Each structure stands twice: as structure tokens, then as C-alpha cells.
Structure 1
Amino acid sequence: MKFISWNVNGLRAVVKKNFVQTFNDLDADFFCIQETKMQAGQLELALPGYHQYFDYAERKGYSGTAIFTKRVPLTVSYGIQSAEFDHEGRAITLEYPHFYLVNSYVPNSGAKLKRLDFRLGWDAAFQDYLTRLNQDKPVILCGDLNVAHQEIDLKNPQSNHHNAGFTDEERQSFSRFLRMGFTDTFRHFYPDMTNIYSWWSYRFHARDRNAGWRIDYFITGNQLVDKLNDAKILTDVFGSDHCPVELITPEL
């Protein structure tokens, strides 16, 4: 099975940049997107053969997630079962007979870390949610998790230790999450690979210089690790300031 995750930085915008052709070319069983930046009824997307699920933020033009899947889920839920955090359209969970698929757009800590406390609160609630799911059946989590975990996960670690996405607090939170029984699938297959990223600032020709960050992930419950085939970062796909990431598994 093929899983794709992509922060599109505005679904209506990326549709004008050949999104449908890219979507068809990738031919995923599950295609998860983040930062849709839209409300219900603002876009009708014809994707034959796919069921579509959207979680919209209350604030217009902000955040938002979606999953397009060839496979009808047993159940669909939105948010992370937290009144404090479920108003920004940041998570969708699809349940299947042998796993849960969770697509998430994790909050950014913001300029001058003004949302760091909110972000860390989200992390705690989200990790509790995922751990409870993973005790029932294996979890496949994907999305823009807004953290570069290790120094090899961004081009310039030394100058970013106090910036959103690379603070000690965020990185330690991510480490704690993995210790709860989860695996970063890309690092499972490529533990030492450097100079490969999934997000580049639009400023200073960052993508041309490959001055990026790896902040988009597929994370699985440890019980799935031996069944995985590969995890990739599709750096040759354009249309957003992020590129898609991919997970390949056998039939689960």
C-alpha cells in the first residue's frame, strides 16, 4: 500500500499548480494533506475512485487537513478529542480493520515562540490520544509535525536552536513520543542520511540552495516496523514550500 502526506500550503492554490496531475501520478491508496486553508464548499475536487474527508478550522483561510482514500474506513473522527485543541482543523483519524491512519498538522510555535505553550499542550494531548489508539491497534501517523528532531534534520541547526520547530522543548517532546512506542519511519530506513528535507522557506532561494528542514513524517507504532517496505521524501515534487513524503507497506 502507498501512503502520501503533503503540506500543500493552500489547497486552492496548489490546484492551480498541477496538483491533480501530481495526485494522479503518485497514485496513492491514501493521500493526506495539511494546511488546506479553506472552508466547506470553497472547492469541489474531482478525484474519481477516492473518498474525501476534511477537517476545517473555524478560522477562515487557516490550517485544515484532508484525506483522500481509495478504501472506505470503518470509522472517521475529527480532532484529538480535546475541546482546547479541536477548533483548528488539525487532525483526521480513519479506522481500518488492522490499523488507524491519523493525519495531522501540528501547531507551529510561531514567531518569538509566542505559541510554544499552546504547542506543548497540543503535544501532550495528541500523544495521549495516539498512545490510546495504538493500544487498540497499530497507528500510522503522518503530517507536518512542525519539528526537526535531530541536527541532521535541518541545514543550519546551530543558528536555529531558539526558533520554532527546533527548540529543545519541541525536540524533547518528540523524543518522548517515540519512546512511547513509535518509530520515525524515514530514520528507520535511513538513519544517517543528510541533506534531505521536506520544507524550505520561500525566502532567500532556500529550496534552490537546499537549505531546508525535515518536518514532515510518517510515524508508526513499533508493532508495524517489521512490516514496512520503505519511506521516502519526494523532493522532486513541486507546488508548495513542502514536498510530499511517502510510506510503502504491504497489505495491512
Structure 2
Amino acid sequence: MPRITTWNVNGIRNPFGYQPWREKRTFEAMFDILEADIVIFQETKIQRKDLKDDMVLIPGWDVYFSLPKYKKGYSGVVIYTRNATCCPIRAEEGILGVLCPPDSTTRFRDLPEEQQIGGYPTAEQLSSDIDEATLDSEGRCVILEFPAFVLIGTYSPANRDESRQEFRLGYLSALDARVRNLVAAGKQVILTGDLNVSRSEIDTINLSEQLRKEDMTMDDWMAIPSRRLFNQLLFEGQVQGDRDPGREQPVLWDICRCFHPDRKGMFTCWDTKRNTRPANNGARIDYLLCSAGIKDWFIDSNIQEGLHGSDHCPVYGTLGDTVKVDGQDVHTLDLLNPRGMVEGGKRLREWSPKDLLPMSAKLIPEFDRRRSIRDMFMKKPAAKVPERKTLLESSDTLGESKREPDSASTPNHETLSARSDQGVALAEPSGPNNTESKSLPLHSPTKEAAQPQASRPPTKRAAPTTQQSIKASKKSKTNDSQSAAKGNTGSMAQSTLMGFFKPKQAARDVTPAAVSSAEPPSPYQQTAASNDSQRNMVKASAGQEGGAEV
């Protein structure tokens, strides 16, 4: 059951100092505790430069901000939407349509009709002389359109002093006109947020005592311009005297009061300076209102006064899983997502970054780059295109397909030999079935593996290491002399580094013909070679005993 929650947080990070938000201190965990699918925050009190990854790049959520253009740490509205539940089709900032989309110089109200949400107030509907751009410069409104309705999240100006009275009435008048125009255009509307107006006597504490102190009557209190304007917007609103021109008919229902018509003490805001919350001495100024066509869609609405973290508490409204549309039962999810995404309550395709609207904070350049990097690491690697193979590589792959795959282990010598034999056997041309595209083998056959074993030249014996030479030279001079006297012709250890780094001629280069044609050495040459060998052995022994450096 989709739930819409509105909350004036008095600073977007303010709740994290309280339970239960301080445990995980993430917006994702906060939204799960609220059990909400659409979350509207007011008084975020941040600027564009204060936006951080944890409040924009929330997994599974999209986000739309309206921030003040000039004042710091003031006002601000944001709407979060859960991608698994809903996906807006249009988004705007401001109530009058005079602001521009990101990276555009065209005002929202001047966009092509198919890109507009519509219902923009006319000059005749505005009761204030304040410039339109000024009214929308304080980050007080975000508007999202879903297939089912238009959602307006707003933070109305407070009545702090007389200097702001004109601005306050100008904003409320523009808000009233926008809602009425949308309803007149045939669209359903949900208006939610901190409106900074108590609707009636039941919505504030100790009203009679306040009136006595200020020497006012109840009629005087109900006739206050902001309260009168607000009640003309509501069904069952108390209006003193005749209604204003253009406001003859109410258009919105107070959903929370519909479910709790006589409940007293249903307050949403308290004075933290005087600590009036424990005694519940507050007022109800946070609302969830809807047009008549979707009133019956709500199955529950209430305040959450037990959730701390601000001088306000959350207010929510819950929609049914199915709703009546023209007398037919329709799944609510079908009405909260673009056509083709959900049908009959079943998801046809998942939400993707392609569904982001220009107003989404995820498309702000610094966040868009980081979002793309995250997506790059999370995406599955694309399938590789099979490479063209030689006949020998294809044959080796076919040979490997006959055994159990073991790409994770390193093949031993016997395995490589078996592969070589298979490569030789399959190297002959065959039918087209032998040239199918298969995954490449882990090790390609070498040129030697493709040659017959009989033609492979004999392996040359490795030369003895220096350590072996040292061990061989650790003999007494007497033994060395005796060995030399006997004319020992065995292999001698290498006594110097001469020729050690010079590659020797491979045995395969010496042909049998060259060996057979060589003349045998003369007796003189044999004697000279024997004397040279004896002198080398004596030098090596002397070097080891004397500690000579090599």
C-alpha cells in the first residue's frame, strides 16, 4: 500500500540527532522506518553547495529539490520517491511556473504543452503586487505529476511579523489559484506540507485564552485573511460571510481530519523554546489534502507524534492497493508509474536512469558523474565477441570440449602433453562442424607442440651451477694432483665466468655430417689440452683456498 509522508524536519540532517534515526543515520533507513514511498520534507535549510551524496544518491530513490536562491540556511523543500513504487512523469520547481528547468532559459510555463504540468496562475488571480520571481525565489515548492494526480509539496511562509504579511498572502493566493486551475483542468491534486495555518479551533491549544488576551472574538480569528483563504479551499471549511470571487467552491479534502473528525490534540507542531511538546500544547499546521476525485483512494491517514527529530511531527496518508477509476478496480501502482512500466499491479520493466526527469538532483553534474561511475562498476560485463581462430586453435578447443572444464586450475605437464597430442591429431582439415565458434582455450598450442616427437632435437644438458663448482673445488691439492696424473677426462667444473653469459651454440646446429667429417686430434693437441686442463684445475683450487674474488 503506497504511503505519502510529509514532515517539516527543521534542517534536513536534524532528525539524525534523535532516536530512532541516530542508529544508522541514513536517509534510506529513515524512509524504511517511516514506511513511506513518497516523502516530502520542508525546511531543509541548505543551499546547492550543501548537497551531499548521502542525500542525493540514495539507492532505490529519486529526489527533487527546491532551494532558496538568495537566503542561506532558510526554507527549502525536497520530495523523495521510491523507484520500486512510483515514477513521476513531470517535475517542476515553484508555484507560478516562472522558474526555468535545469540548463534551460525557458520558463516552465513556456515549455511545449506536453511538457507542462499546467494550471499556472494568471495575473488576475494573484492578489499581491510582489514580483512573481520573488515569490518563487525562496525554495518553497516542488510539484511532481504522476499519471494519477499532481503532487504539490510546499512550505508556506509563517506569520512572524507584519513585514512578511504581504508576501505570505501573495504566496497563499498563488497556491490557491494553482490548485483550482489544475482541478478545473480535470487533474486530481494532492497538496501536502507545512501550510503554517491552523484550520479551526480544534486545531490549536487554548484558543479561548489567547483570544481573551488579544481581545478578539472567534469570528475575528476565523476572518484572519490567511485562515479565511485556506478554509475557502477546503470542503467543510468554516468561512465567515460570502466567499471571495473565484473561490466559490471548495476543491480539497483534509484527509487526516476525514479519518479523525472529532479528535482533539491532533497537533503537528510545538514550541521547542518553551518545551511545550511533552504537555502537547501545540497546533496542527501540517496537512495532507486531496481533490474530491481521489478522496476514497485513501484508506488511512494520521500524525506520528511519537517520532521526534524536529519541532514538527510527520503526517502520512496511505493509498489502497486497488482504487476505483470510472467504476473499475485498478491497481494503484499502475497509476503511479508511466505507461508500460507496471500493468495489473505487475512490473513489466524496472526503473532505470533513463526515467530520470531534468529536475532530478541525480542529474546535477557532480552527482551525475559519480552516479555513472557507480553504475559502471555495477553493470554486468558485456558478452565478448568470439575471435577468429586458426585451424589449429579450433582443433585444440574441440579437443578440450571432450573433457571436464578446469579453467581455474593451472594445467600440469601431462595435461599440456595431452593437449599437444590432441592438437596434432585434429590439425587435419575436417568438415564444417569442426570450425564452430567456441570459447578460446586457456593455453594456445605452441609451435613445438605441433611438431612430431621424433623430429624434436635432443635437450641440452644444463650447465652446472656456480655452487656446484665451489663444492667440486673443495678438495685437497693431493687429490687434485692425483686426478690430473691419472689423466681424468671427466667433465670439469667451470672455474671462471668467461663465456658464462655468452649463449653457446645449440646442439641442434651441429649436423651429423659435420661431426663425422671432423678429423681426430693429433697426439700433440691431446697433450696440450691435458696440460691446459691441469693448469685450470690448479688455479681454481688456489682461488678457493685464498678467498679470491670472482
TM-score by length of 1: 0.92
Aligned AA (1:72): C
**Identity in percent:** 36
Aligned to 1:6: 7
Asked whether the 8 Å contact 2:48–2:67 carries over to 1, the reply is: yes
**Matching of residue 176 in structure 1 with residue 218 in structure 2:** no
User: Where do 5+ consecutive residues of structure 1 fail to align?
Assistant: none
Supply the distance in 1 between the matched residues of 2:197 and 2:40 (Cα, whole angstroms): 18
- Aligned residue runs from structure 1 range 1-252, under 5 A: 1-17=2-18, 18=21, 20=27, 21-44=29-52, 45=55, 46-58=57-69, 59-70=71-82, 71-81=86-96, 82-111=132-161, 113-135=162-184, 136-160=186-210, 168-178=224-234, 179-250=249-320, 251=332, 252=335
Provide the rounded CA distance (Å) in 2 between the counterparts of 1:127 and 1:186.
Answer: 20
Contact persistence 1:32–1:68 (CA under 8 A): yes
* C-alpha contact 2:45 2:74 (8 A) present in aligned 1: yes
Q: Which moved more, 1:11-20 or 1:125-134?
A: 11-20
Q: Distance in 2 between matches of 1:199 and 1:211?
A: 9
- 1:236 partner amino acid: G
Deviation at 1:72, TM superposition (A): 2.3
Cα deviation code 1:75-95 (max 9, x no counterpart): 100001142410010000001
Residues 72-129 of structure 1 show CA distances to partners (whole Å, capped at 9, x for unaligned) of 2111000011424100100000011110111000011213x43222211111111101
Give the aligned residue type for 2:65. Answer: F
What's the offset of the Cα at 1:176? 1.1
Deviation at 1:205, TM superposition (A): 1.9
CA drift of 1:43 comes to 3.3
User: How many equivalent residue pairs?
Assistant: 250
Partner Cα distance (1:205, 1:91) in 2? 29
Q: Is the 8 A contact 1:37 1:62 kept in 2?
A: yes
Instruction: Give, in whole Å, the separation in 1 of the partners of 2:13 and 2:226.
Output: 30
Write the distance in 2 (CA, Å) between the matches of 1:155 and 1:205: 14
> Quick one: which amino acid aligns to residue 34 of structure 1?
Q
- Amino acid across the alignment from 2:267: Y
Compute the displacement of 1:13 (Å): 2.6
Task: Indicate the SS of the match to 1:115.
Answer: helix
Write out per-residue CA displacement over residues 178-231 of structure 1, whole angstroms, 9 at most, x where no aligned residue. 143111111111111101210001022200110010000000011111222111
Amino acid at match of 2:275: H
Aligned mates of 2:156, 2:296 — CA distance in 1: 27
For residue 150 of structure 2, what is the amino acid of its counterpart? Y
One-letter identity of the residue aligned with 2:156:
V
Which structure 2 segments of 5+ residues have no match?
A: 97-131, 235-248, 321-331, 336-550
CA–CA distance in 2 between the matches of 1:209 and 1:16?
Answer: 22
Q: Which has the higher contact order (CA 8 A, sep 6+)?
A: 1
Counterpart-to-counterpart distance in 1, 2:232 and 2:42: 24
CA contact (8 A) 1:198 1:212 kept: yes
Q: Contact between 2:68 and 2:138, CA under 8 Å: does it hold in 1?
A: yes
Residues 245 and 93 (structure 1), Cα distance of their counterparts in 2 relative to 1, 3 Å cut: same
Deviation at 1:160, TM superposition (A): 4.4
Distance in 2 separating the partners of 1:29 and 1:218: 15
* Structure whose CA Rg is larger: 2
Residue 270 of structure 2 contacts residue 282 of structure 2 at CA under 8 Å; is this kept in 1? yes
Secondary structure class of the residue paired with 2:36: coil
Q: Is the 8 A contact 2:15 2:308 kept in 1?
A: no
CA contact 2:222–2:228 (8 Å) conserved in 1: no
Quote how far apart the aligned CAs of 1:147 are: 0.5
Q: Which range is displaced more, 113-122 or 140-149?
A: 113-122
Following TM superposition, by how much is the alpha carbon of 1:159 offset from its aligned partner in structure 2, in angstroms?
A: 4.3
- In proportion to residue count, which structure has more strand? 1
**55-64 or 44-53, which deviates more:** 44-53
Larger displacement relative to structure 2 (87-96 or 21-30): 21-30
| TM-score, structure 2 normalization | 0.44
Is the helix fraction higher in 1 or 2? 2
* SS of equivalent to 2:274: helix
